[in-house]
Amino acid sequence: MATATKMGFAAMIACDPCDPTTTATARELVTQIRANVDAWYTQKNTPATYAAFTARNGAIWKRVVAAGSAVHEEVLRLLRAEPREVE
């Protein structure tokens, strides 16, 4: 019974809309994450390009964490809710 209550409450929290600033910040960070992945696929895979990708990815995720838990959760939600097709 308690599990069902917790799951229902978690679903309610997940449905709460974020404030516009949080959503805008999260969308910008998701755009940066996806641009980094796109940049990775346009280059030949070498140790140098991998190191550059990893450094950019780490910097973006540091900004995600620094933006706070609301932005972090919204970034994760956006990445899960809007999956990209792999060609």
Give per-residue pLDDT as tens, 21-35.
999 999 999 999 999
| Number of separate domains in the chain | 1
Q: Give the pLDDT score at 82.
A: 76
45 within some domain: yes
- The pLDDT of 36-58, averaged and rounded, is 94
The pTM for the full model equals 0.74
36 within some domain: yes
8 within some domain: no
Least confident of 4-8, 37-41, 46-50, 65-69: 4-8
1 within some domain: no
87 within some domain: no
2 within some domain: no
Say if residues 30 and 79 touch (Cβ distance below 8 Å): yes
Residue range of the domain that includes 43: 16-81
Name the nearest CA neighbour of 61 among 84, 39, 37. 37
35 within some domain: yes
